Structure 1
C-alpha cells in the first residue's frame, strides 16, 4: 500500500507507520529499511515502550490465541488509536489507507470509532488482487519481504496463525526465536493457560523428529496435489511456487497483522 500510494498519489503528504510488537522477524526490519529508501521518508515506529513481553505479564503469561487475540488489540490497535487521538481531538480529519485487496472478501479491516477517522481501501476500490500486489512490489524493485520465502503472512515471530510447516521452518530459519517461543509456551502452561502456540500440540511435540517428518510429508503431498490441479495460465511463470495460503486455505487472520 505504501508503494502504491507513493506511485499514484505523490501529491499526498502521507505519514507511514509500523506497529512494532518487539518480536518481529529480522527480515521485517530489513524490509522496512529498504521501503524507507524507496519512499524517501522515515516510517514511524509505534509501541516503543510496551512490547509483547510487557503485555504477556499483564495477561498472566497466557498466550494470545485465535480465541483471545490480545496481541492484536494491545500491540496493533491500541498504539494506533493512541497515536491518532490527539490529532482527532484537535479537530483534524484523518484518512487511513488500509491494504485490503479486492480478493480478500473475508477481511473487513479496522472499524473506525470516530467520525473524523476515515478508512480508505484503495486496493478494493481499484480492483487490485494478490497478483496485482505482487506486480506492484516487483516493479518497484522491492519484492516481498524475505520471510515470504518460507512463511505465508505475518512477520511476527510466533504468530499463532502459522501453519505447522511454518513452525518447523521457524526452527530451521531462526532457531533462537523458536526456542524463545518454546519458553513462552512452557511458562504459559505452567500458569494454567489452556492454549499452546500451535493448535493441538506443544512446540516440543511438534518438533519431535518423526512429527517433523510427518509435517513435511503432508506439506509435500498438499503441494503436489495443488500443482496437479493448478490451471494453466500463459501469463504465469510455471516455476512460481505456490504459497502456503494456497495450500492450506486462507486463514481469517488478524486484520492488522496479516498482509
Structure 2
C-alpha cells in the first residue's frame, strides 16, 4: 500500500457511521474524518458531531458545497429534490467530497453493517477511490454498532427520539410521522420547508401544471412528502400521530427488551416503508 494513500471515513451524523469512526479510531491512526455539511442539517446533528469530535480526539472536516441549496434550487428551475432526481445528494454532498479528495489515492471506509451487506452505500466511480466495508468484513451487526457507541460513552444522537435518519431537515425521505416530529421539535425549520415547497407550488400552479422546459416532466416533485403538501400533512397531525402510536404499540409487542430506536424504526417502517438516501442515512 502506497504511503501517500489517504484513509477517509465519512460521518453522516447517524449511528452506523459514527460507530465506524469510533471503531477505526485506534485501528487507522492516520484516518481523516469528514462530514458533508449542506447547511440544512438538524441542530441535533451538529451537536452530536461536536460530541463525536471530542471522542475521536481529532477534527471532523466539514465539507461545504461551493454553492448552497438556493443556488441549485434555481439551477434546477425550482424542482424540489426527490427520489427520482436527487440533485441535493449529487451537488451538495458527492461533488464536494470528490473535490476534497481530488486525484489522491484514497481508501473510503463505509458503514454498511454485516446484517445489511446487500444494502447500498456511497461508492465512488472515480478510479482513485477504493471502498472497504469494515463492519461486513469483521461481522459487526446492529447490536455491535450500539455496543460500540455505548462503550465509547457517546450513545445515540438526540434526533433518534423522533426520527431514525440523519440528513437535511427538509429531506424528502422523511416519513409522515417524522414531519410531524419536526413540527413539534423545530417548528421554525418546518416553516422554512413549507416556504420552499410553497414557492414551487406557486410557480407551478395549484394543479401542478408547470412549463419549466425539461423539468416539466413526469415525476417532477411539487411537494416534499409524496404528493401531499406539508400544510395538508400537518392538518392531519392527529390522524398521523394516532396511526404512528398504533404502529409503535405493534412494534413493541413483536419482541421484548428492544431499544427505543428499534421500536421507533419498525413503527416508522410500518407507517411508510420508503428507501433511504445512500449518503445521508448511514
User: TM-score scaled by structure 1?
Assistant: 0.88
Q: Deviations over 1:45-95 (max 9, x none)?
A: 1115322222112112211111111111111111111111242xxxxx210
- Unpaired runs of 5+ residues, structure 2, are 1-19, 205-219
Which of 175, 191, 203 is residue 179 of structure 1 equivalent to? 191
| C-alpha contact (below 8 Å) 1:18/1:46 kept by paired residues | yes
Distance 1:70 1:239 in 2: 34
- The reply to whether residue 102 of structure 1 matches residue 114 of structure 2 is yes
Structure 2 partner of 1:71: 88
Alignment of 1:147-158 (within 5 A): 147-158=159-170
Structure 2 partner of 1:256: 279
> Number of paired residues?
245
| C-alpha contact (below 8 Å) 1:25/1:156 kept by paired residues | yes
Which of 209, 221, 234 is residue 207 of structure 1 equivalent to? 234
Report how far residue 196 of structure 1 moved. Answer: 0.7
Q: Tell me: CA distance 1:63–1:214, structure 2 relative to 1, closer, same or farther (3 Å).
A: same
Structure 1 partner of 2:246: 221
Q: Deviations over 1:91-111 (max 9, x none)?
A: xx2101011112224522223
Structure 2 partner of 1:146: 158
- The reply to whether residue 47 of structure 1 matches residue 64 of structure 2 is yes
Structure 1 partner of 2:44: 27
Q: RMSD across aligned C-alpha pairs, in angstroms?
A: 1.8
The more displaced of 219-228 and 107-116 is 107-116
Report how far residue 114 of structure 1 moved. Answer: 2.9
Structure 2 partner of 1:90: none
| C-alpha contact (below 8 Å) 2:107/2:129 kept by paired residues | yes
Structure 2 partner of 1:15: 32
Q: Deviations over 1:217-249 (max 9, x none)?
A: 10011111222222x4xxxx4574544331243
Structure 1 partner of 2:214: none
Structure 2 partner of 1:162: 174
SS in 2 for 1:15: strand
Structure 1 partner of 2:54: 37
Distance 1:153 1:100 in 2: 15
